[in-house]
Structure 1
Amino acid sequence: MAHDPLAGCRVVGFDLETTGLHKKNHRIIQFAIVGSDHDGSSIHFES
């Protein structure tokens, strides 16, 4: 069995959705945070 280097760690990913690439002309329309806590329980938040 392979060793899991992330075992016992909190792992989080972040996603950002925008209407474009220029901050003066575009805006954030949605964001999300997903991952798992050190005990394996799910972490999630989205707007």
Structure 2
Amino acid sequence: RVFLLHSPLVASITIIRRGKARRAKLYYLRDRVGKSARLKQRFDRPI
């Protein structure tokens, strides 16, 4: 999926939640559907 970030149709971008992944390319999620396609949630500690 491609998100056009600089399109005039996009008003704002908000990060709802972050996922914890050990690799940059998440190709293994393509075949998964539903709850199995979820990543573990990442909680960033405030500095």
**TM value normalised by structure 2:** 0.20
Query: More relative contact order in 1 or in 2 (CA 8 Å, sep 6+)?
Result: 2
Bigger helix share: 2
Bigger strand share: 1
Tell which structure's C-alpha radius of gyration is larger.
Answer: 1
